[in-house]
Structure formats: C-alpha cells, structure tokens
C-alpha cells in the first residue's frame, strides 16, 4: 500500500493534516462568504421576495447537525482515552446524525416545493436551494472522509479530532447561513448600508 495514503500518526503528518483542514475550511468559508455577499446584493432587485417562512424541518436539521458535532467531539475524546465502545458508539451517532441532517434537508426542500417555493419562482428561493445544497454537499463530503477513516478507528485520534473540528465548522457555518436566509431582510440591509430611513 502506498504509505502516503495511509494515515500515520507522526508529528509532521499531524501538522500537515491540521494545516490542510484549516486551509480547506478557509476556502469553504470564503466560498460561502461570496455567496452571502451575492445574496445581500441581490436583495436590492425589485423582483426579490424574501422567503415567507422557515420550514420546520430546518430546525430539526440544526439539532441534528449540533448532535453530530457533539458526537464527533465525544468520539475524539473516546479515542484519546482508548475507550473502544464509547468511540464506536459516538462515531455511529455522528454518522447517523449527519445522514439524518441530509435527509431533513431533502425533506425541507420537499416542504418548500409543496408550498410552491420552487427554485425558479424567486431569486430568494434560488439562493435557499443553492446555499443549503452546497452546505449539504460539504456534509456529504465529510461523511465520505469519515467512512474512509473508519478503518483506523481507535488507532488514529487525530483523524477524529479533525472530523470534530470540521463538523464544528459546518455547524457554525450552518447557523450563519440559517440566520442569513431567514433573519436578514432587504429593509435591514438598507438600514445597515445607509440606504434606508
């Protein structure tokens, strides 16, 4: 097996992996920052209609992502303490909560579609689907890495630490995007930017 593909635990490799995660989350953060900026700028157009309600499924999604974040943290602590049962339980809970998050997102999309808030009905709708879909893809990508890392479960606590950090980042990003989509209105943007009374 190619040693560069195997997760070894020397200090140089740990530093490279941690640095790689920081760079990766920085790139993701900038991507969402740019979409957020476009979202705020697009609000000024006359055809903008804010989303009329928050699908209840998104509250469930938020709780599930928070549960996954906590479970990854517990998995990392269990790995450091060499508690195999707690590690496997927390790992399973993290993955199941993340999959449930994705299912809840799809359910929210169905609720939006049922309310005739389709992708092409309004620019705000388009941004909702774009931002939630892109975030979901990053959760899915994290699950792929977690599945790949499963073979080293219990031998490599650094991978679990990085998974925990990544899910904490995804949770924070989700909370910011949730607030952006449902808490920021054109009137608020005009107030902040000095265009309103």
Instruction: Encode pLDDT of 141-172 as tens digits.
Output: 999 999 988 877 767 778 889 999 999 999 99
**pLDDT over 70 (residue 176):** yes
Tokens of 45: 């157009």
- pTM for the complete prediction? 0.87
Specify the 3-state DSSP secondary structure of 124.
Answer: helix
Q: Give the helix ranges, DSSP H, for the chain.
A: 11-42, 56-80, 84-114, 123-149, 157-183, 186-193
């Amino acid at each position: 097996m190619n040693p560069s593909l195997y997760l070894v635990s020397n200090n140089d490799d740990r530093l490279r992996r941690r640095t790689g995660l920081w760079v990766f989350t920085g790139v993701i953060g900038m991507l969402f920052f740019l979409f957020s900026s476009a979202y705020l700028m697009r609000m000024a157009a006359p055809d903008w209609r804010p989303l009329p309600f928050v699908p209840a499924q998104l509250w469930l999604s938020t709780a599930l992502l928070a549960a996954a974040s906590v479970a990854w943290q517990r998995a990392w602590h269990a790995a450091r303490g060499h508690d195999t049962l707690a590690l496997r339980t927390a790992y399973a809970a993290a993955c199941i909560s993340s999959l449930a998050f994705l299912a809840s997102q799809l359910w929210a999309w169905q609720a939006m579609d049922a309310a005739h808030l389709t992708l092409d009905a309004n620019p705000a709708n388009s941004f909702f689907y774009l931002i939630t879909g892109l975030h979901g893809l990053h959760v899915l990508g994290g699950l792929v890495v977690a599945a790949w890392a499963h073979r080293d479960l219990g031998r490599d606590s650094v991978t679990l630490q990085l998974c925990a950090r990544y899910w904490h980042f995804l949770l924070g990003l989700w909370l910011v995007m949730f607030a952006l989509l449902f808490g920021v209105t054109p009137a608020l943007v005009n107030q902040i930017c000095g265009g309103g009374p």
